């Protein structure tokens, strides 16, 4: 099949592990002809947002990528919010896709894609959404003008041609309904997933990585990853580990310290405890190795797609208590902890003294195989829903 991914509501970053990357890789792996039409918005090596030149190339995820320029009707800083581009319809028409997945529900160009779907009714059109109040619509203008007025009207105009709206978390399904006015029967949960790591690959990755880090078989490895923004609570995480974690445990940090007034404090905390290993930014394969070496994955802040990948790598977890996190709980409810007013990171570190970590890890692996495998999720957008 010819599968079109459009990343015009958001960035597209080559060789990262966001959902759009993973779905593209999976579709390529499954033998499909895949095209990504994307904005020029991307990240540099320091995880800072940049804008590249319009171009066409074979991307590192295995698909051809076309990066289109913003329309020049208004200044760039305005057009990147309105998300209007040059040449979208022509690029879609030239590819002639069999199915379309538009990533991100807020963009003018969703109307362009809807026009193509209207002219080609045999082509299914899916739209996913990664937007909620934790990452968007936080200021008055953004909330009331950009989202509730502009993006809402764009989406409503396109809605008759869209087969399904796919919210990647329960909160983002609610945002589609509450802010954009999408009827609930048009929305489905499309969870962010991962790639369950099976044996013998899991054992090889775990043993190799732990040996490289000089970790004994009995050492409990905690991991904390990503861009160290304050909303991810890095200071609270490091402080709780230093004060309460078992003496023979380690904290593996795979991420980047963003410039800001808290960077020096984070560097001081990291340097204060030899059990803390700062490993720097991790590329996808490196991150998988790191998570396979980990016993308990920590994210007390806002949701990250690494939450799901950690479960796929057989990690127990300690996550912020939110509906999206609850989806990672095994049937027995015993593969992790949820952080709320009753359970703190300090409580989690203390609980690991007596917890059956190996059993918790096994429960995470079973759940990942059943619910989170991208090989399964990627098939949901190939055909029109029944």
pLDDT tens digit sequence for 277-305: 999 999 889 999 999 999 999 999 988 88
Distance CA 340, CA 342 (A): 5
Q: Distances in Å between the alpha carbon of 39 and those of 25, 89, 130, 154, 221?
A: 19, 14, 16, 18, 38
Calculate helix-pair angle for 88-95, 110-119, nearest 10 degrees: 40
Question: What is the pairing mode between strands 33-38 and 125-129?
Answer: unpaired
Q: Is the pLDDT of residue 313 over 90?
A: yes
Same topology, domains 2-190 and 201-371? Answer is yes
CATH code that applies to domain 2-190? 3.40.50.2000
Q: Is the link from the previous residue into 84 a cis peptide, with omega within 30 of 0? A: no
Each domain of the chain, given as residue ranges in start order, spans: 2-190, 201-371
The count of C-alpha atoms lying within 13 angstroms of the C-alpha of 328, restricted to the half-sphere facing its C-beta, is 36
pTM, whole model, 2 decimals? 0.82
pLDDT confidence of residue 243: 97
Strand partners, 299: 319
Q: Which strand (E) or helix (H) includes residue 253? A: strand 250-256
Query: What are the b/e assignments for 284-320, b being 16+ CB within 10 Å?
Result: beebbbbbbbbbbbbbbbbbbbbbbbbbbbbbbbbbb
Whether residue 308 contacts residue 194, with contact meaning beta carbons closer than 8 Å, is answered with yes
Whether residue 309 contacts residue 291, with contact meaning beta carbons closer than 8 Å, is answered with yes
Q: Which strand (E) or helix (H) includes residue 111? A: helix 110-119
Q: Is the pLDDT of residue 15 over 90?
A: no
Question: What is the pairing mode between strands 164-167 and 187-189?
Answer: parallel
Return the CATH class of domain 201-371: alpha beta
pLDDT digits (tens, 9 = 90+) for 217-255: 999 999 999 888 888 899 999 999 999 999 999 999 999
SS3 321: coil
Structure tokens at 378: 């990627």
Q: 197 falls in which pLDDT band (50, 70, 90)?
A: very high
pLDDT confidence of residue 385: 82
Residues near 119 by Cβ (< 8 Å), separated by ≥ 6?
none
Average pLDDT along the chain: 94
pLDDT confidence of residue 221: 98
């Amino acid at each position: 099949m010819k599968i079109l991914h459009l990343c015009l509501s958001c960035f597209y970053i080559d060789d990262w592990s966001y959902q759009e990357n993973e779905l593209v890789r999976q579709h390529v792996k499954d033998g499909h002809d895949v095209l990504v039409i994307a904005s020029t918005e991307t990240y540099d090596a320091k995880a800072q947002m940049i804008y590249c030149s319009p171009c066409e190339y074979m991307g590192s995820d295995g698909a051809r990528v076309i990066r289109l320029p913003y329309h020049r009707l208004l200044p760039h800083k305005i057009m990147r919010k309105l998300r209007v581009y040059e040449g979208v319809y022509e690029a879609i028409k030239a590819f002639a896709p069999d199915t379309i997945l538009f990533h991100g529900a807020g963009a003018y160009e969703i109307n362009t894609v809807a026009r193509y779907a209207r002219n080609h009714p045999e082509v299914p059109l899916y739209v996913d959404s990664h937007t909620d109040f934790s990452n968007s619509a936080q200021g008055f203008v953004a909330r009331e003008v950009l989202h509730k007025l502009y993006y809402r009207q764009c989406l409503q105009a396109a809605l008759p041609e869209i087969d399904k709206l796919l919210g990647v978390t329960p909160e983002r399904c609610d945002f589609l309904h509450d802010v954009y006015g999408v009827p609930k029967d048009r929305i489905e949960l499309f969870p962010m997933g991962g790639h369950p790591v099976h044996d013998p690959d899991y054992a090889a990755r775990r043993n190799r990585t732990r040996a490289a880090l000089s970790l004994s078989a009995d050492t409990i490895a905690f991991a904390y990853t990503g861009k160290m923004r304050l909303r991810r609570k890095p200071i609270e995480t490091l402080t709780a580990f230093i004060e309460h974690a078992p003496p023979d445990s380690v904290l593996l940090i795979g991420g980047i310290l963003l410039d800001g007034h808290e960077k020096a404090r984070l560097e001081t905390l990291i340097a204060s405890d030899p059990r803390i290993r700062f490993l720097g930014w991790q590329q996808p394969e490196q991150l998988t190795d790191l998570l396979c070496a980990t016993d308990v994955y920590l994210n007390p802040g806002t949701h990250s797609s690494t939450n799901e990948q950690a479960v796929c790598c057989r990690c127990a977890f300690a996550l912020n208590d939110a509906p999206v996190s609850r989806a990672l709980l095994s049937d027995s409810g015993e593969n992790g902890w949820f952080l709320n007013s009753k359970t703190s990171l300090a409580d989690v570190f203390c609980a690991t003294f007596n917890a059956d970590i190996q059993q918790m890890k096994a429960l995470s692996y079973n759940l990942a195989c059943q619910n989170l495998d991208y090989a399964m999720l990627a098939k949901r957008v190939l055909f029109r829903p029944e």
